[in-house]
Structure 1
Amino acid sequence: MSTFSGITTSSRALTAAQRGMEVTGQNIANVNTEGYTRQRLEQSESVVGGVGMHARRLVPGEGVEITGIARVSNALTESAARQDVATAAEHRAGTAVWSRLEANLGEDGISGLSTQLNTMHKAFSDLGNATSTENALAGRTHVLATAQNVADTVRRVDTQVQAQWAELGGQVSLHVEDVNATAAQVAGLNTAILDAVTSGVSPNELLDQREKALTHLSEVAGVRVVARDGGTVDVYLGNSTIVGGRQSFAVSVVHGTSLAEVKAGTSSTRLTVEGVEARPAGGALKATLDAVNTTVPDVSEGIDAAVQKIAAAVNAVYNPATDANGVAVPGYSAANDFFTSSAASVKGGGAAERFQVNPALTPASLRDSSAGTVDRAVAKALGELPSAANSTTRTWRTTVVDVAARTQASEVRADLAAQVSLKSIAARDSVSGVNIDEEMTNLVSYQHAYAAAARVLTTIDQALDTLINRTGLVGR
């Protein structure tokens, strides 16, 4: 090993230390950059070449070699973080749906259906206690007004639920557009990463951008990511490929025709990729699809069932089909019911949308007494209905409590999922995130290494100066 080889060794040491400071500076510069993964200089000792008679014996190595700039990440923690982010987003979106449904019932104010039902039964009770013709006429007018308020409230609740269903369908479309745009971005980054790897350029920044896009895809649609050769990834929505290497495949949405048809099971909102149905495994898109196809239709069916029970309970007292002994009442006709259904649905809803006070009823024609009497028995019985076995208020309260309980349970699940997601992100960041204290330590280490390598080079330079310029000058 010649003296000049020492210069090469020192030069390599200087280059490695300088490159280490540059990598450390890059980490420090991006300490607050979202999605940035810290980088680390990878280096190894050079191996002395030569074998046989040309082998160099009893010499050190040839210094250090820079083998690459590694992106410090862990595939397991990144995958776990994506999965937990998708779960948290799914529960968060589901909670928003349930909270909106609970608000649509409107039971947090005086305009709620429970209050309107109590007011109607109070009006019936007052009518039952009327003692004069004038008071009875005023009582009947008040009964019809409060009953109309009940019908209006029922239809308002149904309108708001249908509006929520339609809005959720629009959200599905927005999520699909987001998925398609992000999938195209991932495919483009796959191409750039593959080109960078092929040409020997560091793809670390491109990998960070892709990981950020993949995390967003997971949050929206709960995608599955599979790594491939050359640094590319394939992305799956359910069992359908939306990114395959350099190419992305668009997701299409087929919307349900109407809420009524979804409740009837004859229509639904579906996603397709290349003509094949795709079902998200998580994310906000899954929660929104579930809401459109299941959650909102189920609640709407519950509202319809409660409204039908309310109408049946009132009609059974006002216009009974059978007497107390179960014998059919002569001349009974459903056309004389207090609550009826309109002939056709305007917006594609169910029983709640068609719920109405019998249009034929007037204060003069409203029946408040038993046939042939003025005992106000019918009005009194309707006034006592809230405490009966088939209580209208209890029926509606059951529906409200069920929605409230489901909302609360969804909120609890969302809180737990959010905590798990934060822990997963923290675990990922503990591996991939930039630690200022650690980087400062590295910076000092590289600085000392650079100074030491420079000192070695200076020493070799002085030795060469002695060898070249002072050899043969002994004794002068």
Structure 2
Amino acid sequence: MAFDALTTATAGLRVTQSQIGVVSQNIANVGTVGYVRRTLTPVTTGPGNAGVASGTIARAIDAAALKQLRSETSGAAYTSTLAGIRGQLDALYGRPGDGSALDGMFNGFTQSLQSLAANPTSTAARTTVVSAASGLATTIATAANGVQSLRSGLEAQLASDTNDANTLLGQLAKLNARLGATPKTDASRPDLEDQRDQALNSLAGLMDINTVTLTDGSVSVLTGSGATLVDHGNAATLSFSSRGTLSAQALYSDDPSQSGVGTIMATLPGGGKIDLIASGAIRSGSIAAAVELRDTVLPQAQRQLDDLAAGLARSMSDRPATGTAPADGTKNALDIDLTGLTSGNAVTLTVQDGGVQRNLILIPFSGTPPASVPAGLTDDSEATVIPFQLPGSGNGAPATLQEALSQALGGGYAVSAAPGGAAGAVRIAGTGSASLLAASASVTQVDSATDIKSGKTQIPLFVDGKAATLFTGSFEGGSQLTGFAQRISINPSVAGNAASLVGITGSGTSTGDATRPQALYEALTGTPRTFSSASGIGGIDAPTTSSVAEFVQGVISVQGSAAAAAQDLDQGQGIALSTAQGRFASTSGVSIDEEMSNLIALQQAFTANARVLTAARDMLDTLMRI
């Protein structure tokens, strides 16, 4: 009897000592990141289960809580990155209403035109217009350069994140191999599992992942879309083809040879390769947010600034042309004055065929036109784009504008000179099933950037780049619109001759005439212009019509609203992450109060076993003395 009690008490002491060691380890690691609370449950042994022995040290893991934690970690990294860049983008435009902000600079420019119209003989007023125009151009260019700086920063972040993900995948493969070779009863196994879960949590911050626990304790790691990244001891290798500093022309393409930005290629454990960006394999985490910002959000912001710069320049130098119903009552026809049409001055026809409304965009070229022009570079990304050669512009050029338009439109339409109209006025009539609903164009009225005394109210106040090229929206050698916001500047010919802002040589007016500054003011604030669907200002995937002044407010409003929405989303996701962390900590985290309570109970159990051992010893001593 005494021997049984001695054996049981001794085993109890060993088990209790092991449990105290586990509890002490929990307390010592209460602040250690990634540490999961350990438990040790004794097991019965011996005949009739009368004995006791130490069991396996296990981690207190709630698999469902851990899965939710990783999901919310990916979401939080995504929204945090999105909100951070959205906020920086909004800051590029300045605080609305401030004199140095985009809207403040624009308002200052329009007010200077008003002041000049009220006092056209004032040298100071002319100088103020030049200064305000230069400041506005600089503000637009600075914002556009800031957009590209953000894109370049995201390109660098993607390279860094890809490298970090690659490192984590390698660590996971090594931990899988060690876990597979470590017996489940080994005391070091929980530490390996903690390291594995910590690596998985870090990876979840970079991209959304799913995990499958295998029978040997290792895990398979898959992207949210199902691509396997880690299988047992094998890991995918990720590489990023960084393009360094990005420009407005550096845009994403599914074809790596055509893409102007980097992509993430994964060589999978099975040997296959996959483009993780093109396949949409990464849907959350900081990588997904960086890709969305670099390839969608910021290019749209660039397009808004390009559209603004183009609208600003062409409001000064162009005449809006709108199709009107023929005075002689001809049905399904529109008359439009295209006098002065030059390269890039696109003509938009709105037609309806079979109940479907669509746009035909005819783009003139001064030389041989390309086979096609991407619709995304025009005002309407869903339009049918038709390039054509202007008359008198090279070999094979049509003799007249009517002939050029007729060749471009082909069957179904007839183009002729508009009766009684100007030399460049044409009549476009539908001869097929399509109904003509509208026709419009923005026709440049000056011949060059140095044509500042054309005898018309238009003047090339804003030009393209240091070479001071006239902006017409040309597609010769590529889209002149793309990146124009970075290149816009005040025309040095006007800056050097501010009197041209009021003097219209050849019209019989004097330098004291307010016609030109008043017309320029009205062109900015009252004349509707078409802005591209790619800018997203209209709220739908279609071109929007507004004055330049209204477009400026639209840009600021859209970016401000988007930044606020991103911040709200991030705050909401932060709450979701905190909830998931709390749920996980409630089952897997270390609670000092709970561990101290366990320690007291184990100390009492240790004392009880010690007393049993003492009593058994005394009993044996008594027996030995008999």
Instruction: Indicate conservation of the 8 Å contact 1:140/1:366, yes or no.
Output: yes
User: What are the Cα deviations for residues 52-109 of structure 1, in whole angstroms up to 9, with x where unaligned?
Assistant: xxxxxxxx54321222111111111111101101101100100011111111223454
- Aligned with 2:618 (options 451, 462, 468): 462
Cα distance change, pair 200–327 in 1 and its aligned pair in 2 (3 A): closer
Q: TM-score normalized by structure 2?
A: 0.67
- Aligned with 2:241 (options 249, 254, 259): 254
Q: Secondary structure at the match of 2:249?
A: helix
- Alpha-carbon distance in structure 1 between the residues aligned to 2:480 and 2:82: 25
For residues 40-439 of structure 1, what are the structure 2 equivalents within 5 Å?
A: 40-48=39-47, 61-108=49-96, 109-130=98-119, 132=121, 135=122, 137-197=123-183, 200-238=186-224, 239-255=226-242, 258-262=247-251, 266-267=258-259, 268-274=261-267, 275-278=273-276, 279-316=281-318, 327=337, 332-335=445-448, 336=451, 337-338=459-460, 339-342=462-465, 350-361=483-494, 362-368=497-503, 371-374=507-510, 375-385=513-523, 387-390=525-528, 391-439=547-595
User: Counterpart of 2:463 in structure 1: which amino acid?
Assistant: T
Cα distance change, pair 463–382 in 1 and its aligned pair in 2 (3 A): same
- Alpha-carbon distance in structure 2 between the residues aligned to 1:194 and 1:245: 8
Cα distance change, pair 276–327 in 1 and its aligned pair in 2 (3 A): closer
- Alpha-carbon distance in structure 1 between the residues aligned to 2:157 and 2:242: 11
User: Counterpart of 1:259 in structure 2: which amino acid?
Assistant: A
Instruction: Indicate conservation of the 8 Å contact 1:94/1:291, yes or no.
Output: yes
Q: Secondary structure at the match of 1:262?
A: coil
Give 1:321 shift.
7.2
Cα distance change, pair 368–147 in 1 and its aligned pair in 2 (3 A): farther
- Alpha-carbon distance in structure 1 between the residues aligned to 2:166 and 2:480: 31
Give 1:12 shift.
0.8
Could you tell me which runs of 5 or more consecutive residues in structure 1 were left unpaired when the two chains were aligned. 49-59, 471-476
User: Counterpart of 1:439 in structure 2: which amino acid?
Assistant: E
Instruction: Indicate conservation of the 8 Å contact 1:106/1:157, yes or no.
Output: no
Instruction: Indicate conservation of the 8 Å contact 2:37/2:589, yes or no.
Output: yes
User: Counterpart of 1:91 in structure 2: which amino acid?
Assistant: T
The size of the alignment, in residue pairs, is 453
Cα distance change, pair 199–61 in 1 and its aligned pair in 2 (3 A): closer
User: Counterpart of 2:138 in structure 1: which amino acid?
Assistant: D
Instruction: Indicate conservation of the 8 Å contact 2:303/2:482, yes or no.
Output: no
- Alpha-carbon distance in structure 1 between the residues aligned to 2:287 and 2:314: 39
- Alpha-carbon distance in structure 2 between the residues aligned to 1:264 and 1:458: 81
Q: Secondary structure at the match of 1:88?
A: helix
- Alpha-carbon distance in structure 1 between the residues aligned to 2:165 and 2:485: 36
Instruction: Indicate conservation of the 8 Å contact 1:12/1:65, yes or no.
Output: yes
User: Counterpart of 2:293 in structure 1: which amino acid?
Assistant: A
User: Counterpart of 2:557 in structure 1: which amino acid?
Assistant: V
User: What are the Cα deviations for residues 120-168 of structure 1, in whole angstroms up to 9, with x where unaligned?
Assistant: 2222222222264xx2x44333322221222222211111111111111
User: Counterpart of 2:552 in structure 1: which amino acid?
Assistant: W
Q: Which has the higher helix share?
A: 1
- Alpha-carbon distance in structure 2 between the residues aligned to 1:327 and 1:217: 61
Instruction: Indicate conservation of the 8 Å contact 2:105/2:132, yes or no.
Output: yes
Q: Secondary structure at the match of 2:35?
A: coil
- Root-mean-square deviation (Å): 3.0
Instruction: Indicate conservation of the 8 Å contact 1:106/1:112, yes or no.
Output: yes
User: Counterpart of 1:224 in structure 2: which amino acid?
Assistant: N
Q: Percent identity?
A: 26
> Counterpart of 1:447?
603
Instruction: Indicate conservation of the 8 Å contact 1:117/1:392, yes or no.
Output: no
Q: Which has the higher strand share?
A: 2
Instruction: Indicate conservation of the 8 Å contact 1:223/1:281, yes or no.
Output: no
User: Counterpart of 1:447 in structure 2: which amino acid?
Assistant: Q
Higher radius of gyration, 1 or 2: 1
Give 1:39 shift.
0.8
Give 1:345 shift.
9.5
- Alpha-carbon distance in structure 1 between the residues aligned to 2:479 and 2:492: 17
User: Counterpart of 2:125 in structure 1: which amino acid?
Assistant: G
Could you tell me which runs of 5 or more consecutive residues in structure 2 were left unpaired when the two chains were aligned. 268-272, 325-334, 340-421, 424-444, 452-458, 470-476, 529-546
Instruction: Indicate conservation of the 8 Å contact 1:258/1:348, yes or no.
Output: no
User: Counterpart of 2:24 in structure 1: which amino acid?
Assistant: G
> Counterpart of 2:23?
24
Cα distance change, pair 422–368 in 1 and its aligned pair in 2 (3 A): farther
Q: Secondary structure at the match of 2:53?
A: strand
Give 1:236 shift.
2.4
- Alpha-carbon distance in structure 2 between the residues aligned to 1:307 and 1:39: 63
Give 1:6 shift.
2.9
Q: Secondary structure at the match of 1:45?
A: strand
- Alpha-carbon distance in structure 1 between the residues aligned to 2:85 and 2:79: 10
User: Counterpart of 1:418 in structure 2: which amino acid?
Assistant: G
- Alpha-carbon distance in structure 2 between the residues aligned to 1:386 and 1:15: 88
Give 1:25 shift.
1.0
Cα distance change, pair 326–143 in 1 and its aligned pair in 2 (3 A): farther
- Alpha-carbon distance in structure 2 between the residues aligned to 1:453 and 1:245: 45
Give 1:349 shift.
5.2
Bigger RCO of structures 1 and 2 (CA < 8 A, at least 6 apart): 1
> Counterpart of 1:51?
none
Instruction: Indicate conservation of the 8 Å contact 2:306/2:482, yes or no.
Output: no
Q: Secondary structure at the match of 2:145?
A: helix
